Amino acid sequence: MAAIAIPRFAGIQDQAKIDADAATAKSIVSAARIFDAQENDTLSATNDNLPTALFDISVSPQTGGTFELGTSGEFYTVTFGEGRIHQYSEETSEVTTTTTP
């Protein structure tokens, strides 16, 4: 029974970390959008106008690595994780995962 329960529990823990990091990614996008509104700008990440403080995030992703703000066209994206890279998309409000070699 333990052989079945332990891997399942580990999978649940991994998903909880991804979900927590996705929530942080959403907050990062919200902060960028608030800055855009204050500056009457759009997608500040494309023209390096975002303040350094926005990128100086005091928390590290629970999945490893760092949070990185970017864009995909007219929407923000936030990439995080180590080994398995996760990307939160503002456009879809979803997280996609890729495995790096």
Amino acid 99 reads T
Residue 50, pLDDT score? 65
CB 79 within 8 A of CB 18: no
| pLDDT profile of the chain (101 residues), mean per 10 | 59 90 92 83 65 68 90 88 93 90 62
Residue 99, pLDDT score? 82
Residue 2, pLDDT score? 54
Number of domains in the chain: 1
> In this structure, which long-range contacts are made by residues 9-15, counting pairs with CB atoms below 8 Å and at least 24 apart in sequence?
none
Residue 73, pLDDT score? 78
Q: At 66, phi and psi to the nearest 5?
A: -135, 165
Q: How many CA atoms lie within 13 A of 18 on its CB side?
A: 18
Residue 79, pLDDT score? 92
Residue 4, pLDDT score? 58
DSSP-based three-state secondary structure for 80: strand
